Amino acid sequence: MRPGILKRLKIGRIISQILFFTLFLFVFIRSLDPFAALENPFLRFDPLIFLTNPEANLLVIAVAAALVILAILLGRVFCGWICPLGSLIEALDFILSPLRKRNPVALQRYPGRKLLVRYPVSLLLLGTVLVTVFTQAPVLQFLHPNIWIIRIASTTAVGLVFLGLLLLFSLFSRRLWCTYLCPLGALYGLLARIPLFRLRISACSNCGRCERCPTDAANYRERDVMSHQCIVCFDYESQCPAEGFRYNLQRAGKQTGDAVPPPTPSRSGDGTRSPEPSSSSRRSFLKHGVQLVAGFAVGGLLTGIGFLRRRITTLLRPPGVVDEARFVENCLRCLQCVRSCPNQIIKITGVEHGFASLYTPHLEFRPYGCDYFCQVCQQVCPNRAIPLQTLVQKQTTPIGIARIDEKVCVVFKDKVNCLVCEEVCPVPEKAIHYVVSIETDEAGEPLREPSMVPEACIGCGICEARCPAEPVAIRVAI
Instruction: Give the residues lining the site for other proteins (CB under 8 A).
Output: 34-35, 342-343, 368, 371-374, 410, 416-420, 422-430, 434, 445, 448, 462, 466-468
Residue 284 Cβ, how far from other proteins at the closest point, in Å?
A: 56
**What's the min distance (Å) between Cβ of 368 and other proteins?**
6
- Cα distances (Å, whole numbers) of residue 45 to 14, 39, 63, 64, 436: 22, 10, 6, 5, 56
Q: Where are the beta strands (DSSP E) in 335-428?
A: 346-348, 361-363, 401-404
* Cα–Cα nearest to 419, from 406, 428, 432, 407: 432
CA 195 to CA 251: how far, in whole Å? 6
Cβ closest to other proteins, residue 309 vs residue 448: 448
Residue ranges of E strands in 195-279: 197-201, 218-219, 224-225, 245-249
Residues 6 or more apart from 74 whose CB is under 8 A from it? Answer: 196, 197, 232
Nearer to other proteins, 404 or 467 (CB): 467
How near is the Cβ of 449 to other proteins at its closest, in Å?
A: 12
Separation between Cα atoms, residue 327 and residue 387, nearest integer Å: 9
Taking the complex as a whole, the smallest distance from the CB of residue 446 to other proteins amounts, in Å, to 12
One-letter amino acid for residue 340 of the chain: S
CB 366 to other proteins: min, Å = 12
What minimum distance in Å lies between the beta carbon of 418 and other proteins? 5
Residue 225: phi, psi to the nearest 5? Answer: -115, 120
CB of 381 to other proteins, least distance (A): 19
Nearer to other proteins, 51 or 424 (CB): 424
The reply to whether omega before 426 is within 30° of 0 (cis) is no
Quote the CA–CA distance of 256 and 442 in Å, as a whole number. 97
324 Cβ neighbours under 8 A, 6+ residues apart: 312, 313, 317
Least Å from the CB of residue 176 to other proteins: 41
Separation between Cα atoms, residue 202 and residue 209, nearest integer Å: 15
Axis crossing angle, helix 183-191 with helix 58-74, rounded to the nearest 10: 60
Q: What is the 8-class DSSP label of residue 321?
A: -
Pairwise CA distance, residues 35 & 49, whole Å? 26
Could you give the CA distance from residue 223 to residue 206 in angstroms, rounded to a whole number? Answer: 9
Query: Do 444 and 374 contact (CB within 8 A), yes or no?
Result: no
* DSSP one-letter string for 108-132: GG-THHHHHHHS-HHHHHHHHHHHH
Task: Determine the Cα–Cα distance for residues 196 and 6; give it in Å rounded to an integer.
Answer: 18
Q: Smaller CB distance to other proteins: residue 3 or 34?
A: 34
Query: In whole angstroms, how close is the CB of 183 to other proteins at the nearest point?
Result: 38
Instruction: Work out how close the CB of 316 gets to other proteins at its nearest, in angstroms, rounded to a whole number.
Output: 18
Nearest to residue 125, comparing CAs of 115, 113, 139? 139
Beta carbon nearer to other proteins, 35 or 98: 35
**Minimum distance from residue 117 beta carbon to other proteins (Å):** 51
